[in-house]
Amino acid sequence: MRGRSAPVLGLLLAWSATAAEIPVSERRSGFDAMSPDIQAMQQDEMANPGLLWLQDGADLWGKAPSPDRPACAGCHGEAGASMRGVAVRYPVYDAATAAPIDLEGRINACRARHQGAAPFPRESRELLGLTTYVAAQSRGLPIAPPDDPRLASARAVGKALFTQRMGQLGLSCAACHDDHAGRRLGAALIPQGHPTGYPLYRLEWQGVGSVQRRLRNCMTGMRAEPFANGAPEFVALERYLMDRASPLPLETPAVRP
């Protein structure tokens, strides 16, 4: 897949022009279509199981990885102040690596650069916890894509991936989430596919997972080979998806069926 993507990119960009984008006024969170009991599970501060992960993150935020290195709080102070408005901008451009970086990647980069600590594995309890804690500080804020020209190529790649047919079923993200959102696949409503609440608690997972885990599910469902955890393709797709979801409010930690 990755080997093939470069030569066909031009073609993909041409295809993307045919995708029907959802106008800003018609963008809807998957929350709206959920049954009232699952909506209540998300909104009740004592019933949302994602808060178990969030609390793990809150503890990690204040804990130094080693005695001579600062905790997250050592540099950033109170997350409620310093991290509010951060997650709604991600993924952003990381000057140090001259590449786009998602929130999980930023946390791990911070660990390496400032805490002298090994990265947490993607989908680990620790990384999901910290990411949930950081993202939840922006709960209720509208998703606000950065106006950064250095992200232009990631946006283009993300959009191309969104509209590219892949896998044995010949589907694309757009074929479901642009062209058929609001209709049903089996008994389930096809959502517009906005990543407004990640990391989120999915009843199917019986736990919290990242947007990349969700994207891997989608690719497996399309009978395509998923990209690796943290792959640049996923970061590009995340960038496009957050542009496409703007300005819906962030819901982390959301609950979904």
Tell the smallest beta-carbon distance from residue 241 to another protein (Å): 16
Give the helix ranges, DSSP H, for the chain.
2-16, 36-43, 50-61, 72-76, 79-82, 103-114, 125-136, 152-163, 173-177, 211-221, 232-245
In the numeric block, the tokens 């979904």 are attached to 256
Main-chain phi, psi angles of 188, to 5 degrees: -90, 140
Give yes or no for a contact between 182 and 189, defined as CB atoms under 8 angstroms apart: yes
Tell the smallest beta-carbon distance from residue 254 to another protein (Å): 14
Binding mask 47-66 for another protein (x = CB under 8 A): x-x-xx--xx----------
Tell the smallest beta-carbon distance from residue 242 to another protein (Å): 21
Give yes or no for a contact between 257 and 34, defined as CB atoms under 8 angstroms apart: yes
Tell the smallest beta-carbon distance from residue 98 to another protein (Å): 34
Is the Cβ of residue 79 or residue 171 nearer to another protein in the bound state? 171
Interface with another protein in residues 197-216 (CB under 8 A)? 203-207
What single string gives the DSSP state of each residue in 146-183? ---GGGHHHHHHHHHHHH--BTTTTB-HHHHHTTSTTS
Interface with another protein in residues 9-48 (CB under 8 A)? 15, 17-18, 20, 34-38, 40-41, 46-47
Sites of contact with another protein (CB under 8 A):
15, 17-18, 20, 34-38, 40-41, 46-47, 49, 51-52, 55-56, 165, 169-171, 175-176, 179-180, 185-188, 190, 203-207, 217-218, 220-222, 257
